[in-house]
């Protein structure tokens, strides 16, 4: 018969088992959190990329609306000019929802303001009035319920409605 040789293998004590379990738990937690951070970072990157693409697509494909709602403000102080512009725009199939005075009467050049983020509307109205496209500006305001605001300046006599 063969004799068995007894080899002494160290038996882990309770403290070593606890340390090993804690290390495994911490390493697993670090791995899971790192994965979550990577997924969230990728998600944010994708959303930012898609937002930029959508914004550039919207800007390049803007077309004037079928119905453009306009506000006409008299900024030159000449009586009746706002009504003349309103009549002209309505005859051109533009929906004028408000005609009023501007806060002051010292506006030198007529300005067309885009209120909803569709500059094609403002450019169409500017073209109808005989205004240069560079005087159509973008000034978004969700408090206004119009697409375009026109502030009539002291150059009103040179514009299409009075020619």
Whether the per-residue pLDDT at 21 is higher than 80: the answer is yes
| DSSP, res 20 | H
pTM over 0.75? The answer is no
Beta bridge pairs of residue 150: 72, 112
| DSSP, res 65 | -
Q: What is the pLDDT of residue 109?
A: 93
Strands (DSSP E) contained in the chain are 69-74, 95-101, 111-114, 136-138, 148-152
Q: Which two tokens stand for residue 41?
A: 């970072």
Chain segment 1-10, per-residue pLDDT in tens: 666 766 666 6
Whether the per-residue pLDDT at 35 is higher than 90: the answer is yes
Chain segment 49-74, per-residue pLDDT in tens: 776 665 555 555 678 778 999 999 99
Q: What is the pLDDT of residue 83?
A: 95
The Cα–Cα gap between 96 and 89 comes to: 7
């Amino acid at each position: 018969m063969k004799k068995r040789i007894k080899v002494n293998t160290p038996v882990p004590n309770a403290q070593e088992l606890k340390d090993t379990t804690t290390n495994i738990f911490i390493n697993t937690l670090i791995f899971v959190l790192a994965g979550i951070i990577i997924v969230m970072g990728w998600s944010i990157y994708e959303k930012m990329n898609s937002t930029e693409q959508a914004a550039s697509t919207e800007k390049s494909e803007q077309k004037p609306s079928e119905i453009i709602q306009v506000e006409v403000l008299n900024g030159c102080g000449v009586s009746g000019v706002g009504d003349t512009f309103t009549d002209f725009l309505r005859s051109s199939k533009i929906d004028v929802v408000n005609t009023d005075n501007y806060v002051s009467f010292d506006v030198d050049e007529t300005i067309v303001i885009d209120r909803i983020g569709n500059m094609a509307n403002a450019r169409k109205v500017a073209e109808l009035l005989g205004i240069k496209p560079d005087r159509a500006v973008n000034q978004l305001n969700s408090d206004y319920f119009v697409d375009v605001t026109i502030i009539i300046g002291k150059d009103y006599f040179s514009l299409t409605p009075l020619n």
